[in-house]
Structure 1
């Protein structure tokens, strides 16, 4: 069942799996559906209390002006802490995917008492914008796709879904499962109230890049050595958005971090990876 949490002046949609008394894991992605139902259920079956939620401007959480969001990356970090508060969790195991990985890193740095362990998936140690010279940038072919998008009829579900599917195809590795991706995209689209508004649907469909315009505040890469939470880094070997060198840098610069790479995987968490990812998270949070 979905819950609506009021924190930091916004309303966030959250959902839980498992028993409250089990070890809590907060999953941070773009939307709660970054973490599929079956993945959450598998973690819950292994005695984890799983919490997932929609970031601002995604899913059923509060939306801002699509052209001028009035919040910062640090506000999203405060939102994550607010979700923990809403469920009465002084601390939790934190897992962040993509943008959620930035939020997770900053939560571990700025509010270390809230983070029991840290899992970083498909993310990097720097904010949106030009990357550091020692880190690989977005793949040129991917950026060419994003900079020259096809025509989309934002009032037509099929047109929007097809557009989102092409974005996901470009973000994925060579073992792309179109049927699985389409099912996930249709769920993301259909549970978003903004999808009924063509202007907001445009932003909802651009989730992979929608947060690039946020004010991210001061750099944090130079602070990674101060992370005290045990850290697991999981990264696709064929990630075109945050290429593998970004995951390697995180693992090298966070003390004691472990790196697991996923062959044939891009900026994604498809079902075929779960037999690796779920046991790894279980070990890490035990």
Structure 2
């Protein structure tokens, strides 16, 4: 896989489709690797006429881990003192922007899931001239009153990191079951194969706390989202236990003229059974962005 030198770090990335087509940048969430964007989903988006790019955020997958900086004091950050956070969502958004620069892309469609949605929101706030359209999936704008996890999902988020392969795989399978889509459960064999593949690709978990610190320490994006003019689509599962659907509704309410698509029975994942609804919605929103640019 290619690696991009950006902001003093390296980002692992992969592309699908014709590079002459409009670029659609996929940004994944907390502790997740780019392979959480299923390759089949990426190819379906490429068939819609996009040059699809997925990548590992810093502190995940095969991108640079900032293991030379002190671990954040999460207790203090949750208590209102963000000073120990080594970076913020705005820095992760700058990574995404720099990756587009390496790829020679002036303007892109940006799609983010969970923390990736927060990064995508921050990117369009900070660099509106570089974003053709925004799609925020199972995310929230940073208002602490919306998009909060259920107690069960919060426990998954804060569970101790496993130290051996077998325990890690079992823990991650159970976590996926807890926060996944109740109406669209993943096939057990497929789920275990994905979890094992992700662990074998990168078993490091020390970046999780730094990414979580970035989420909590970053300011509410609601005021900035009010200035967004790019066509915006918000997708959220009505059965999301990790980021309650109120987070998606708040995001859509914050962005003028945003479209909100809530999906019954969808949790905090992207079940293949819903791709026939999700892919055309993303494509239509992106085409609205291209029409706005052309007009």
Distance 2:244 2:166 in 1: 31
Please state how far the C-alpha of 1:210 moved relative to its aligned partner.
Answer: 5.9
CA contact (8 A) 2:10 2:64 kept: yes
1:115–1:229 Cα contact (<8 Å) kept: yes
Shift of 1:148: 5.5
1:108 correspondence with 2:144: no
The 1-side partners of 2:263 and 2:107 are apart by 28
Query: What is aligned with 1:257?
Result: 258
Deviations 1:49-80 (A, max 9, x none): 00110001111000012834733222111100
Unaligned runs of 5+ in 2: 73-84, 288-295
Alignment of 1:8-23 (within 5 A): 8-23=7-22
Which residue of structure 1 aligns with residue 293 of structure 2? none
Q: Tell me what 1:187 maps to.
A: 197
Q: Take 2:131 and 2:101, find their aligned partners in 1: how far apart are those partners?
A: 13
Question: Which of 77, 89, 93 pairs up with 1:73?
Answer: 89
Offset from partner CA, 1:122-179 (integer Å, 9 cap, x none): 000107xxx12xx252101222444555x84x13x22211111111111112132133
Contact 1:92 1:116 in 2 (8 A): yes
What's the TM-score, normalizing by structure 1?
0.87
> Is contact 2:88–2:217 with CA below 8 Å preserved after alignment?
yes
> 1:83 matched to which residue of 2?
99
Partner of 1:93 in structure 2?
Answer: 109
Per the alignment, residue 26 of structure 2 pairs with: 27
Q: Evaluate the alpha carbon distance shift between residue 64 and residue 136 of structure 1 in structure 2; reply closer, same or farther with a 3 A threshold.
A: closer
Q: Over residues 3-26 of structure 1, what are the superposed CA-to-partner deviations in whole Å (9 max), with x where a residue is unaligned? A: 100010000001100011112100
Provide closer, same or farther for how the CA distance between residues 218 and 142 of structure 1 changes in structure 2, counting only shifts above 3 A: closer
| Secondary structure in structure 2 of the residue aligned to 1:96 | strand
C-alpha offsets along residues 217-274 of structure 1, whole Å, 9 cap, x if unaligned?
4332122210111000000110011111111111122111111112211111121111
Say whether the 8 Å CA contact 2:139–2:147 is kept in structure 1: no
Query: What is the SS of the residue equivalent to 1:226?
Result: coil
Aligned to 1:163: 171
- For 2:206, the equivalent position in structure 1 comes to 203
Which stretch of structure 1 is more off in the superposition, 171-180 or 77-86? 171-180
**What is the distance in 2 between the residues matched to 1:59 and 1:147?**
19
2:226 alignment partner, SS class: helix
Contact 1:74/1:216 (<8 A) preserved: no
Cα distance in 2 for partners of 1:143, 1:218 equals 21
* RMSD of aligned residue pairs (Cα, Å): 2.0
* Structure-2 residue corresponding to 1:198: none
